[in-house]
Amino acid sequence: MSTRAPVPGGDARSCSGRARRAAAAWALTVLALSAAVQSASAAERSDSVLVRVDPGSTPTERVALSRALDAEGVRPLVAGWRAYDLPEGVTLAEARRLLAGEDAAAAVELDGRLRPSEIPDDTHYGLQWALPRIGAPAAWDATGSAADVVVAVIDTGVQTTHPDLASRIWQNPGEIPGNGLDDDGNGRVDDVAGWNFHDETNVVYSAADGDSHGTHVAGTIAARRGNGAGVAGVADNVRLMPLKFLKPGGGYTSDAIIAIQYAVAEGADVINASWGGETYSQPLCDAIQLAGDAGVLVVAAAGNGGADGIGDDNDAAPSWPANCPATNLVSVAATTPSDGLAGFSNFGAGSVDIGAPGQDVLSTIPGNAYGYKSGTSMAAPHVSGVAALVLGMHPGLAPWQVKAAITGGGAAVPALAGVTSSGRRLDLAGALTVAGTGIGPDTTPPDPFAALGPVDGLATAAPGPLLFSWAPSSDAGSGVVSYRLVVGGATVATTGPSARSASAVVGDGSHIWTIAAQDASGNVRHTAPRVLTVDRTAPTAPALRAPAGAASVPGPMVDLAWGASSDAVTGVASYRVLVDGVAVATAGADERSARVRMGRGSRTWQVVAVDGLGNQAASPARSVTVTGTVPALGTPPAVRGLALLAPARLASGRAPALRVRMPRAMRVTVGVRRADRARPLATFRVRARAGVTTVRFPRTARARMRAPGTYVITARASAKLRDSVRITVGPRRR
């Protein structure tokens, strides 16, 4: 006689192996069991934050990032993401404020909680109606020669001693049971039959935790068939790899990610993910895509709607990871015994792939018993079992091909038309037939996608490699396998499919660049071309013409002349005239002379050529003796261009003493950037009068110049009226 299964519930924070929070997490769990929390609140808090660290950041910047969060620990994840453990919970807005000034933080997310996708039910409807519905009995005779396939059950724990599961449990070939050693060197001691990522132990089943959900899922996939007792699983060629990360209060996204990485590293062929949440997680989707790169299919439950118990449209309100854009992921809705869409099941014409039995499903539960459960959690393992049989019969298939066999071989049912992408319900015989007759070649390029940065038309003088970024592409056929950065027709960098950026050294000049996405069949899609101008080279130094060296000239107004400079990339933008090392006049790119005021006596003068990006070249200083009388005070010198005046060095935290000299009153745009980076840190506008105006820096601009280093300050009033200076910020003296 079947017993009814206890159901994991609630959405309270789990302790995830973190002893310092165990008591508080357990109290929250108990309180939360009485309420179903189905949507992420805008004020959701977490004591773990996920940060994608800029690959170009320095060790000092990474340490500063950790200090800004007051992190107590950090764990590396995938694609540059790291999980930072905090002493107390923060909201996403609070986390972003803490990291606002940290250059190393490229993206920030909360480490959201995930939960099982199971709907509790008190009704019994007989035995295993689902197996004949998907055509399993008729197809089993054709799968007797199926090779063994490893299916990772990433879920709650699994009762590995259950009589219908004990012979199906995966055994780690690199571990010696019970010797207390990490024999295979993967950082986990005695992970003989899986791992508990929630508590960081090798105990994958706990009666105290219930672990009914994972045990039920495991039985649907691979309960022993033909033993005269219990229930039958979909596939008898499966070795189940129990990977526990959920408890009654849910589990951390970061633990799910690490479990996926473990499954891939230990040789899983299929991953069953009967859980989800409403908060998007880029690193979780990255982990699934990386699993696909390694040849692993991921089967995910589509989700069970909101607190009203009615299924939602995943196209409008996504559920994760079911909505992750990975070609190795199959998203599964739940169907009824009459081939209808279960009322609790999520759906989506563009985001849910197929339906499978998920209502009143009989399977194994703890205590060597059997029970009914309903939910998309119960639908997904039917698909995982079919995937295992398809792979067992056709071991060479790629994940996208297994997915194509499952969706293409399903039985068309009216209730799934327009609410799933295939309009079909799972069918084992159909999937085996499609896989056996061959899946046509993929001749379609990846989907269109866009470059993000640098912006089109950017001109930069930043030294070192430049960072290029793009939005992800997708490919419903063989899947995106790589991205290439193409500059001037040549590939300068290649990344994996989960990457969203690449760095490359680009030489001086004007370049056309694109990003190329390539799928496993060699089809390529390019982004729209963009133009990038790089100019790190100073113009040629101007040659001084008159007065001649050591000449005597009448004052106070002295006429100076020089020869033209040249710049091959951005051109000469202006000339700056210095008397005794101080800028006294700025001339346009087409001007070769200036009249400046000089006091009586021996003076030196020189001319600095400035190109369009602020690179400078100075002529040698030339001496001149000025004769005549000093004019009356109050006669201002003639100003012909825009000139910036600033100290060369500045103590950290001090406001820059910046002045701008203008020929007439105009609005001036002031920009601040680090000398080694192209992206501006701050931009603001000031109203400058004719003559000299003191520029007051906004608080945000001052804050972003606090870190030691060299900064470039630019001022621009028009195409011809512009100038730039460099300021080196050092530590404040105590």
Quote the crossing angle between the two packed helices 428-437 and 399-408, to the nearest 10°: 120
Write the CATH number of the domain with boundaries 544-627.
2.60.40.10
State the pLDDT at residue 61.
Answer: 86
Confidence of residue 55 (pLDDT cuts 50, 70, 90): confident
Helical H segments across 394-485, by residue range: 399-408, 428-437
Residue 559 CA to residue 555 CA, distance in Å, equals 9
**Contacts with 452 (C-beta within 8 Å, 6 or more apart), sequence order:** 469, 470, 471
Select the highest-mean-pLDDT range: 4-13, 42-51, 393-402: 393-402
Closest C-alpha among 488, 490, 493, 445 to residue 469? 493
State the pLDDT at residue 466.
Answer: 93
**Which comes out higher in pLDDT, residue 528 or 14?**
528
Class of the domain covering 41-111: alpha beta
Contact 114, 253 (CB under 8 A): yes
In the annotation, is 162 catalytic?
no
In this structure, what token pair is assigned to residue 659? 């002045």
Contact 446, 517 (CB under 8 A): yes
- Out of 265-274, 416-425, 438-447, 681-690, pick the least confident: 438-447
Q: Where are the domains of the chain?
A: 41-111, 115-437, 451-534, 544-627, 643-730
Over residues 332-341, mean pLDDT = 95
Which amino acid, 486?
Answer: V
Given this chain, do its domains 451-534 and 544-627 carry the same CATH topology? Answer: yes
Count the alpha carbons within 13 Å of 385 in the hemisphere toward its beta carbon: 34
Neighbour-count burial of 406, counting CB atoms closer than 10 A to its CB (0-12 exposed, 13-18 middle, 19+ buried): buried
Which H or E run contains 65? helix 59-69
- Out of 98-107, 411-420, 557-566, pick the least confident: 98-107
DSSP assignment of 224-256, as one string? --SSSSS---S-SSEEEEEEE--BTTBEEHHHH
Q: What's the DSSP call for residue 157?
A: -
User: What's the whole-number average pLDDT of the chain?
Assistant: 84
Query: With 90 as the cut, is the pLDDT of residue 201 above it?
Result: yes
User: What sign for the dihedral angle of Cα 592, 595, 598, 601?
Assistant: positive
- Out of 41-55, 270-284, 355-369, pick the least confident: 41-55
**Which comes out higher in pLDDT, residue 443 or 123?**
443
State the pLDDT at residue 440.
Answer: 62
In the annotation, is 213 catalytic?
yes
The residue with tokens 């261009």 is 641
DSSP assignment of 503-558, as one string? EE---SEEEEEEEEEEETTS-EEEPPPEEEEE--SPPPPPPEEESPTTEEEE-SEE
Closest C-alpha among 387, 344, 371 to residue 118? 344
Q: Which of 48, 331, 374, 377 is catalytic?
A: 377
Which H or E run contains 289? helix 282-293
Closest C-alpha among 199, 282, 286 to residue 244? 199
Residue 323 CA to residue 326 CA, distance in Å, equals 9
Q: Output the CA angle 159-163-165, nearest 5 degrees.
A: 55
Which H or E run contains 387? helix 376-393
Q: How much of the chain exceeds pLDDT 90, in percent?
A: 48
Q: Which of 11, 85, 111, 155 is catalytic?
A: 155
Class of the domain covering 643-730: mainly beta
Q: 557-581: per-residue pLDDT in tens?
A: 999 999 999 998 889 989 999 999 8
Three-state DSSP state, 595: strand
State the pLDDT at residue 42.
Answer: 41
Strands 601-611 and 622-627: antiparallel
Residue 305 CA to residue 52 CA, distance in Å, equals 30
User: What sign for the dihedral angle of Cα 352, 357, 358, 363?
Assistant: negative
Query: With 70 as the cut, is the pLDDT of residue 115 above it?
Result: no
Residue 650 CA to residue 576 CA, distance in Å, equals 22
**Contacts with 700 (C-beta within 8 Å, 6 or more apart), sequence order:** 682
**Contacts with 671 (C-beta within 8 Å, 6 or more apart), sequence order:** 680, 682, 683, 713, 714, 715, 716
**Which comes out higher in pLDDT, residue 439 or 86?**
86
Q: What is the dihedral of CA 61, 64, 66, 71, to 10 degrees?
A: 170
Strands 480-487 and 649-651: unpaired
Residue 189 CA to residue 176 CA, distance in Å, equals 10
In this structure, what token pair is assigned to residue 130? 């689902």
Closest C-alpha among 457, 459, 508 to residue 714? 459
State the pLDDT at residue 441.
Answer: 64
Three-state DSSP state, 10: coil
Query: With 60 as the cut, is the pLDDT of residue 273 above it?
Result: yes
Q: Which residues pair with 645 in a beta bridge?
A: 659
User: Does domain 115-437 bear CATH number 3.40.50.200?
Assistant: yes
Q: Output the CA angle 582-586-591, nearest 5 degrees.
A: 135
Query: With 50 as the cut, is the pLDDT of residue 363 above it?
Result: yes
Q: Which of 164, 190, 206, 213 is catalytic?
A: 213
Q: How much of the chain exceeds pLDDT 70, in percent?
A: 90
State the pLDDT at residue 99.
Answer: 86
Confidence of residue 734 (pLDDT cuts 50, 70, 90): low
Q: How distant, in Å, are the alpha carbons of 228, 655, 703, 708, 733 from that of 730?
A: 79, 13, 14, 5, 9
Write the CATH number of the domain with boundaries 451-534.
2.60.40.10
Residue 463 CA to residue 468 CA, distance in Å, equals 15
Contact 38, 59 (CB under 8 A): no
Helices (H) and strands (E) in the chain, counts: 12, 44
In this structure, what token pair is assigned to residue 145? 């020669």
Task: Provide φ and ψ at 217, rounded to 5°.
Answer: -60, -45
Closest C-alpha among 5, 270, 285, 258 to residue 118? 5
State the pLDDT at residue 439.
Answer: 64
State the pLDDT at residue 640.
Answer: 63
Closest C-alpha among 262, 252, 276, 265 to residue 329? 276
Quote the crossing angle between the two packed helices 399-408 and 376-393, to the nearest 10°: 110
Closest C-alpha among 330, 343, 350, 310 to residue 426? 330
In the annotation, is 41 catalytic?
no
State the pLDDT at residue 406.
Answer: 94
User: What size, in residues, is the chain?
Assistant: 734
Residue 392 CA to residue 143 CA, distance in Å, equals 8
Contact 431, 391 (CB under 8 A): no
Task: Provide φ and ψ at 84, rounded to 5°.
Answer: -110, 120
Over residues 37-58, mean pLDDT = 70
